[in-house]
Amino acid sequence: MKNKLFYVTGTLVFLAGLFGGFMWFRPHTFHGTVIQSPELAYDFTLNAAGGKSISLSDYQGKLVLLYFGYTFCPDICPATLANVGQALRSLGNKADKVQLIMISVDPERDTPDKLAEYVTHFHPSFIGVTGEPEKLAEIAALYGIFYQKHPGTEATGYLVDHTATLIVVDQKGYLKLVLPFGVTVDEITEDLKYMLR
Amino acid sequence: MKNNLLRGFYGLLIILVASALAFKIFQPIKVLPRIRLAPAFDMIDQDWARLTSEDLRGYVVIYTFAYTNCVEPCYHINETMKEIQARLSETKLGNVKTAFVTISFDPQHDSPTALRAYARNIGADTQQWKFVTTPNESLLKAIIGSGFQTYYEQKPDGSYAFDPAFILVDGWGVIRGEYRYQTEISTADRILRHLGVLSQEVQNAAGPTKLAYEAAHVFLCYAP
């Protein structure tokens, strides 16, 4: 009887261990599409506030989140930037290893200074960049971002429809993850934590 | 007691490692690599209608690149495209939607009217197969050259030297297959096989099976 109990308990502990081991070693399930590109993400140089030029390659060693948006954006951009800002706050000290760069899809209205004022409202580390319309069109195209002007109201002026994904470039400069619009703060935090581990 | 615990721990470790090895060796699930993001575009098709990369979200798309004055290489490209369309029912596509797009890199000559005449001439079904271009030549060069990584260059006689590539893009806008060279297996056969693999992933990689598909990506279980 004692032996039987020992084997049943042993088997249960073993199965629990197997399950625990599987959960521990299982691959992290990202909340977006993982890209396994052998090539570095497309590098660019654009204008930031204070007359600075910013290149993607300047941030190697950090996780870079690329977001294409604009300061007059009524809903999608503030929602995404607010979520990323909150995710960075929940990362604590590790947030220093993450850099969000918002690339403007509205170069007519977004000056570098205006972008800086807008993005730092969501997190003090955020950077906003812009450039010549042709250059922005090329960068956006190569990151799979479509955008087009769209008539708005008298109050808002024209709007810009744009692909609202959040692109994650890893510490070595490889495009690693594409998060869809609508990812939650917790989901962003989980993925960033995993990539910073 | 301590020995039993240690034995149990090692047994557990062996099972986990053996499972991972078995997954890698037997590759129960095949996937296509997620190579890189496909470029975004905004072009005009053979019917003067706009076609953008956003319109094709949710579609598995096969892209080719050509120009309407092209004879020999384009004949083979077009025949392959037609063969794939004719044999689509061989793959288990389920509810996965497919589209075919040929991008012209000669916008100076290839107006929508010229593209329509070309489509008619080669017997293309333009409901499913779109012929597009954009007058913005520098952006076109970035899209085809850098985005799809497909070479083309105009020669002094006005014709083009180009890479007769086929590019397979999934519904999330990620490049999943590039077919640039002839192999023993025809390009149509390879693309059809890959369409089947991709469709299986699109239809099955949800819920608990998503983890198995992600493991297949991690272990590089790529379909040949």
Whether the CB-CB separation of B222 and B33 falls below 8 Å is answered with yes
Say if residue B85 is in the same domain as residue B2: no
Say if residue B73 is in the same domain as residue B115: yes
Does B111 have pLDDT greater than 90?
yes
Structure tokens at B193: 């096989």
On whether residue B204 sits in a domain, the answer given is: yes
Say if residue B203 is in the same domain as residue B136: yes
Say if residue B23 is in the same domain as residue B42: no
Please give the full DSSP string across B14-67, using - where no structure is assigned: HHHHHHHHHHHHH-SS-B----EEPPP-EEEETTS-EEEGGGGTTEEEEEEEE-
Q: How far is residue A103's CA from residue A167's CA, in Å, rounded to a whole number?
A: 11
* Percent of chain A scoring above 70 in pLDDT: 93
On whether residue B50 sits in a domain, the answer given is: yes
On whether residue B223 sits in a domain, the answer given is: no
Minimal CA separation from A54 to chain B, in Å: 21
- pLDDT recorded at residue A16: 74
Whether the CB-CB separation of B47 and B132 falls below 8 Å is answered with no
Range of the domain at B197: 36-218
Say if residue B66 is in the same domain as residue B175: yes
Residue of B nearest to A140 (CA): B40
Say if residue B13 is in the same domain as residue B108: no
CB within 8 Å of chain B, chain A residues 69-108: none
Greater pLDDT, B4 or A96: A96
Say if residue B48 is in the same domain as residue B23: no
Domain count, chain B: 2
Any chain B CB within 8 A of the CB of A40?
Answer: no
User: Residue B66 maps to which CATH number?
Assistant: 3.40.30.10
Beta strand pairing status for B129-133 and B97-104? parallel
Confidence of residue A77 (pLDDT cuts 50, 70, 90): very high
Does A128 have pLDDT greater than 70?
yes
* Percent of chain B scoring above 70 in pLDDT: 91
Residue of B nearest to A176 (CA): B36
- pLDDT recorded at residue A117: 96
Greater pLDDT, B22 or A183: A183
Chain B positions in Cβ-Cβ contact with residue A27 (cut-off 8 Å): 211, 214-215, 218
Say if residue B18 is in the same domain as residue B65: no
Largest Cα–Cα separation, chain B: 85
- pLDDT recorded at residue A21: 63
On whether residue B224 sits in a domain, the answer given is: no
Q: Which whole number is the average pLDDT over A112-136?
A: 97
**What are the pLDDT digits (tens) for B140-190?**
999 999 999 999 999 998 899 999 999 999 999 999 999 997 777 788 999
Q: Running DSSP on this structure, what letter comes out for residue A107?
A: T
Does B131 have pLDDT greater than 90?
yes
Please give the full DSSP string across B152-187, using - where no structure is assigned: EEE-TTS-EEE---EEEE-TTSEEEEEE-S--SS-H
Does A22 have pLDDT greater than 70?
no
In single-letter form, the type of residue at position B202 comes to V
In single-letter form, the type of residue at position A194 comes to Y
Strand partners, A34: A177
Say if residue B9 is in the same domain as residue B73: no
Confidence of residue B134 (pLDDT cuts 50, 70, 90): very high
Chain-centroid distance, C-alpha B27: 22
Say if residue B18 is in the same domain as residue B127: no
- pLDDT recorded at residue A25: 61
Say if residue B40 is in the same domain as residue B24: no
Beta strand pairing status for A63-69 and A98-104? parallel
Whether the CB-CB separation of B170 and B203 falls below 8 Å is answered with no
Q: Which whole number is the average pLDDT over A155-174?
A: 93
CB nearest to B12's CB, from A14, A34, A143: A14
Chain-centroid distance, C-alpha B152: 19
Does B132 have pLDDT greater than 60?
yes
Say if residue B58 is in the same domain as residue B91: yes
CB nearest to A175's CB, from B37, B40, B215: B37
